[in-house]
Every structure is written in structure tokens, then in C-alpha cells.
Amino acid sequence: MFQDRCNLAGLLYNPREPRAAMPGRKPPEDLPAMARIVMKFGGTSVADVQRIKNVALRVKREVDDGHEVAVVVSAMSGATNQLVKWVNEISPLHDAREYDTVVATGEQVTIGLLALALQEIGINARSWQGWQVPVETDHVHGKARIQKIDCAEMIRRFSEKQVAVVAGFQGIGPDNRVTTLGRGGSDTSAVALAAALNADRCDIFTDVDGVYTTDPRIVAKARKLDKITYEEMLEMASLGAKVLQTRSVELAMNHRVRVQVLSSFEDKPGTLVVGEDEIVEQEVVSGIAYSRDEAKITVRKVQDRPGIAAGIFGPLADAAINVDMIVQNASDDGKTTDLTFTVGRADLERALHVLKGREGELKYGGLVSDPNVSKVSVIGVGMRSHAGVAQTMFKSLAAKGINIQVISTSEIKVSVLIAEDYTELAVRALHTAYGLDGA
């Protein structure tokens, strides 16, 4: 189970001013003159009648430019929460089918209102609920996965200059009932629709204006990235960045959907999420991410025998506690070992409780925990072909006197766990060390 426990909002933060000189509004250089575009607007972008009218004006510009447009919308912000609240008040352990019936109404309201707003300014538009497209999903109500989207009728209507306004977050299951994709599923709806439509681009309008090299609240010289690869975006999304849902990035990567993250409130280009082949001059490191929402646990002197890791992590998984970074050190005596790992800070007490309950069975020498840690990561596909990326990180942190507690790496990411007090210092040092500082 993926848990959204890292604070990477910084990477996706909307600064006061654009960091780099940007050309005026024009389509990215590689968009055809008459393109097919999917535009997705989240809940804050359609939060009230006035904002829905603004979205209609934004859509009109693409229509006026000659493009075929499908718009995917979320529920008005707050609407879904109210619906979920009612469901929980009536039935805490609710039937997911009826949950879906109730919460899917939020998007149904916005598609109707946006279609009306478009018609009001002279645009031919109609709304599509999930079952009308249809967006076919599996049977897992509340967390359904899209299996097939039949766009034939929608494409026919594009030829009549009709804009499609599609409900995000929902589909229809094999039981002929409304399904929902789980929170944040509208991103996935948009990308899947773009794949099915073979769209030239999928624009995700949000309350941030793109993806940044790091949190501009910490690093004044943070730059908005023009482009980022799917793999890097996926790494950020799976670290908990709110700007794009993990599944939507996976889907975009698998179907080569070109995604743009941009602001629904400011009129300027955002960040394009694309394949590596589209990025000509790849930086070694694209961004520095951090998360304060970490806690460290060390299990002291556990027996160094097969099955001991399963004995510790199995019960934690059963308790739905996500374990992230793991290191295991041989101990001095050669018979026992120390096992250190991180969990979400909110899960710390529960994790300790689970492990104490297994003390008799695991026969460890002690439990040590520390909630005051943070994780700092450098991310970049370029590090695949460049040696020394991790070394630069370690040197830079050492130069500032920052002790590294745990290290974990993936093909395109190096993460270290440090004392929380040093977070900003570390992020700034690394931003400079990898040459990311803007003018």
C-alpha cells in the first residue's frame, strides 16, 4: 500500500516570480498546428462558479487555436470531502459500491456546469460521465483501475467541433455500476484518456505552476524545470509529491503521453513530463527533494540468521505500516546484527508497539527510535551515465558538517537520512553543488 507521507510540495511550489525568462504564451515548440489536447483541471480550479467560467475561457483559447479538446475535471474542491463525510457518518465500514455511487456525483456536477459555461461563450460542448464514454474499469470499487476507454463517439464529435467535458476519477465496472479510481484519480483519468485519444499533449492544470529544482521556499535560486523525464517525475510522485498521482505518471510513461504540469491561475508554460529522448541536454541531477515526515527505528542485536528480516517487516506490513530505507550492519560479535529503517513519523508509535509485541519471538537486544530525522534526495536520470553523483552528495554534506545516518539508492536517485535540523542547509548545499542554482 502506497502511503502519501513525504512532503515534497517544495519541488512543486509556486514561487512569486518566474525564475527564468520565459517566452510569452505559445504552444510548446513541438505541438502540431492542429493538435488534439486533453486538459485536466483539479478541484481548486473549479471551486466555484467564477473559476468554472475562467476554465471555460482557458479552454476556449485552445479551441480558437484550432485544436481538438477533451477536458477532464475533478469535483469542486470540498465537495468530495463532504460526500465522504456523509458516507462515513452513515456507515464507517461502507460498501465500496455505494461509496462510489455517492462520491462520483462531485465530478458529475462539474462536467455539467463546465459544459454549460462553454456553451455560454459559444463553444459546442457536451459532458460525459464515465459510463457514457465508457471508461471501463475493473471491479475494485473505490480503487478501480481503468482497463479500456472507447473514444470512437468522442472522436466523431471532435470532427463536429465539439469539446468533450469528461468526469475524472470515475468509470464503469463489469457490474454496470459506477466505479471510482481512488483519491487523485482524475490525473489518471486524464492521462488514460490522452492515451486512448492518442492526444498530442495532456495538460494538467494545478495550483502550482510546474516542477522546480527544489523548494523555492528554501532555495531562493530554485528554477522551474522546462522538462523532466517520466522516471524522475515518477520518483518524485512516489516520494509523495502532490502534483501528479503516481499511477498517472506510470500510465504516461507506459503510453508515452506527453504531460504538461502548469498553473490554472497564471498564464505561462509549465513543466513538460516526457521521455528521455525528448530531453536534449540532460542535467546529471534534475532536482533535490526532501521529506521531514520520517522517523528512524533501530532494532539492536537481532540474531543474524535467515528469516529475521521477514520476522520484523512481516508484522509491520500486516499493520499497514510502510517501511522505507533499510540498512543492516554486522555487529561486533559476528552473531547479531543491527537493523535500521525508516517509517512515516505518524506511524512511529504503532511500529514500536508492533515490534515490542514480538520481542519474545525476535529476541532483539533493544529498540532505539528517533523522530527528528529527514530524508534528502537527489534525483536525475543523468546519474545512470555519470559516476560520482553520490560522492558529490557525500562530500557536500560532509563539508557542511552534516552526518549521514542512512543511505539508499535507486537507479536515478540517492537518498540520505540526516538530523532534521540540517534539512535546509543540506538542500541548499546540494542545490549549489549540482549546479542547479538559477541566475
Least Å distance, CB 99 to a copy of itself, is 7
For a copy of itself, which stretch binds (CB under 8 A), given 58-66, 172-180, 343-351, 425-433? 172-180
For a copy of itself, which stretch binds (CB under 8 A), given 46-54, 209-217, 248-256, 387-395? 46-54
Single out the residue of 14, 44, 101, 282 in contact with a copy of itself (rule: CB under 8 A).
Answer: 101
Q: According to the binding rule CB under 8 A, does residue 98 interact with a copy of itself?
A: yes
Give CA angle at 375 (42, 143), nearest 5°. Answer: 35
Q: According to the binding rule CB under 8 A, does residue 58 interact with a copy of itself?
A: no
Single out the residue of 57, 66, 78, 95 in contact with a copy of itself (rule: CB under 8 A).
Answer: 95
What is residue 288's three-state secondary structure? strand
Single out the residue of 31, 35, 47, 83 in contact with a copy of itself (rule: CB under 8 A).
Answer: 83
How many angstroms separate the CA atoms of 118 and 205, rounded?
Answer: 17
CB-nearer residue toward a copy of itself: 127 or 186 = 127
How many angstroms separate the CA atoms of 420 and 373, rounded?
Answer: 4
CB count in 10 Å sphere of residue 300 = 15
Short-list 116, 119, 88, CA closest to 102: 88
Least Å distance, CB 176 to a copy of itself, is 6
CA dihedral sign, ordered 422, 425, 429, 432? positive
For a copy of itself, which stretch binds (CB under 8 A), given 25-33, 58-66, 125-133, 308-316? 125-133
Short-list 126, 132, 170, 168, CA closest to 151: 132
How many angstroms separate the CA atoms of 261 and 201, rounded?
Answer: 11
Single out the residue of 22, 57, 81, 120 in contact with a copy of itself (rule: CB under 8 A).
Answer: 120
How many angstroms separate the CA atoms of 256 and 230, rounded?
Answer: 9
CB–CB of 334/327 below 8 Å?
no
Single out the residue of 14, 132, 238, 263 in contact with a copy of itself (rule: CB under 8 A).
Answer: 132
Q: According to the binding rule CB under 8 A, does residue 89 interact with a copy of itself?
A: yes
CB-nearer residue toward a copy of itself: 94 or 350 = 94
CB–CB of 197/70 below 8 Å?
yes
How many angstroms separate the CA atoms of 231 and 50, rounded?
Answer: 37
Strand pairing report for 259-263 and 36-41: unpaired
Single out the residue of 94, 183, 268, 301 in contact with a copy of itself (rule: CB under 8 A).
Answer: 94
For a copy of itself, which stretch binds (CB under 8 A), given 17-25, 102-110, 184-192, 206-214? 102-110
Interface residue list for a copy of itself (CB under 8 A): 49, 52-53, 83, 86-87, 89-91, 94-95, 97-102, 104-105, 108-109, 111-113, 115-117, 119-120, 126-127, 129, 131-132, 176-178
